[in-house]
Amino acid sequence: MNAPDAFDAIVLGAGAAGMMCAATAGARGLRVLLIDHAPEPGRKILISGGGRCNFTNLHTAPDRYLSANAHFAKSALRRYTPHDFLALVERYGIAWHEKTLGQLFCDGSARQIVAMLSEECTAASVTMLLGSPVSAIDHADGLYRVTVDGRTWSAPSMVLATGGPSIPKLGATGFAYDVARQFGLSVVQPRPALVPLTLGAEDALFQSLSGVSAQVEVSCNKTSFREAALFTHRGLSGPAMLQISSYWQHRTAIAVNFLPDVEAEWLLNQKRLQPRTTLRRALTSALPVRLAEVLTDRMAEEARSLGAELGNVSDKSLRAAQAHLTAWTFTPNGTEGFAKAEVTAGGVATRDLSSQTMMATRVPGLYVIGEAVDVTGWLGGYNFQWAWASGWAAGQAL
């Protein structure tokens, strides 16, 4: 007879990865305790995708994830695919749609995904302990002991699924890193990712564009994204900028192509077709008016001829202007930090974990899954897919 406080596995964190892991292990007949300090499970799921949860991406592939070990995510992603999660969603009759770029969203509400995972946990007899912080964790005699509200629970396996510190006001913490370090695992420096970039005084001109968006191609460190960019009162946001922020390093520049859809000699062709028009007016056919104005004003500060009619601007100047507009560099002075970051890059080092099971290679029974691990996906459902896949891998292995 087991002591009432003894389980087969304790999962810390009832978010996306933790619920998937607990339900998977419970369905295999394991007695699982799922603990979260928040009063309800899956808070980040609830606010995700603008309340509709972009729950996976059909184009999931390991090269859409950042990690010190580019191969680490392969095994888990291969064994639990977007179609596996979609089959679960359909089994629960949750209506969904593909928005763009393989991104799948609920037609209704993210609440349906949380309800589905909660029901999976209930069906698998998972015990949930919500609303109280963990006060102590230790390991002795092959058992992990977790103390909550003065009561200690034990199990031979413990899963860290407490995510990363992005959006602390939702209860996000760096708890997983502290516990990982307690057990001798390394942590790759965590940093905000999928986060708006901020601009300094030299780009103050762009503040007047707050609210303006445009389709751009943005590049940094040999990685490019072609999506919408949004100017904010603090700098740059929108999908293109959130994506590139994960690759950006402090004091480096990003290059923005404001004319990703025009031909190579577009401005020269405009000069031939409409010699009486100005650069500013020509640009308004390809860009929002306010953006065209600010870009032209900035370029005319350096080359005054660009304020003239195109017929009076030399071909050389127009070629230079187009080169400038297709590789406009910004050097952000920072990001909006963990308070606004959709995810945390870095985390528990993959070199200390098995890519098959997510178990720490030198600490039997300790598993790390989800965002807590140094695996960070692109924007667009990739991070949830990693949470499901890594949670499933650990849930099968426990």
Chain residues binding ligand FDA by CB under 6 A are: 12-18, 35-38, 43-44, 47-49, 53-54, 133-134, 161-163, 166-167, 171-173, 175, 342-343, 370-372, 381-384, 387
Q: How far is the CB of 298 from ligand FDA (least distance, A)?
A: 33
Of the pair 76, 283, the CB lying nearest ligand FDA is at 76
Q: Which residues contact 49 (CB under 8 A, 6 or more apart)?
A: 55, 105, 106, 110, 381
Of the pair 176, 256, the CB lying nearest ligand FDA is at 176
Q: How far is the CB of 260 from ligand FDA (least distance, A)?
A: 25
Of the pair 267, 345, the CB lying nearest ligand FDA is at 345
CA separation for the pair 382, 379 (Å, rounded): 6
Q: How far is the CB of 371 from ligand FDA (least distance, A)?
A: 4
- AA letter at 197: L
Q: How far is the CB of 133 from ligand FDA (least distance, A)?
A: 6
Q: How far is the CB of 111 from ligand FDA (least distance, A)?
A: 14
Nearest to ligand FDA by Cβ — which residue? 15
Q: Are 180 and 320 in contact (CB under 8 A)?
A: no
Q: Of the candidates 23, 185, 8, which has an alpha carbon nearest to the alpha carbon of residue 91?
A: 23
Q: Are 96 and 106 in contact (CB under 8 A)?
A: yes
Of the pair 90, 178, the CB lying nearest ligand FDA is at 178
Of the pair 128, 299, the CB lying nearest ligand FDA is at 128
Reading across the β-sheet that carries 366-368, which strands appear in turn?
127-130, 32-36, 9-12, 157-160, 366-368
Q: How far is the CB of 166 from ligand FDA (least distance, A)?
A: 6
Of the pair 259, 398, the CB lying nearest ligand FDA is at 398
Q: Of the candidates 264, 262, 328, 317, which has an alpha carbon nearest to the alpha carbon of residue 291?
A: 328
Distances (CA, A) of 283 to 182, 259, 260, 315, 325: 57, 9, 13, 16, 10
Residue 306: count other Cβ atoms within 10 Å of its Cβ. 23
Q: How far is the CB of 300 from ligand FDA (least distance, A)?
A: 39
Of the pair 35, 292, the CB lying nearest ligand FDA is at 35
Q: Which residues contact 395 (CB under 8 A, 6 or more apart)?
A: 20, 21, 22, 23, 24, 25, 27, 28
Report the Cα–Cα distance between both ends of the chain, in Å, rounded.
21
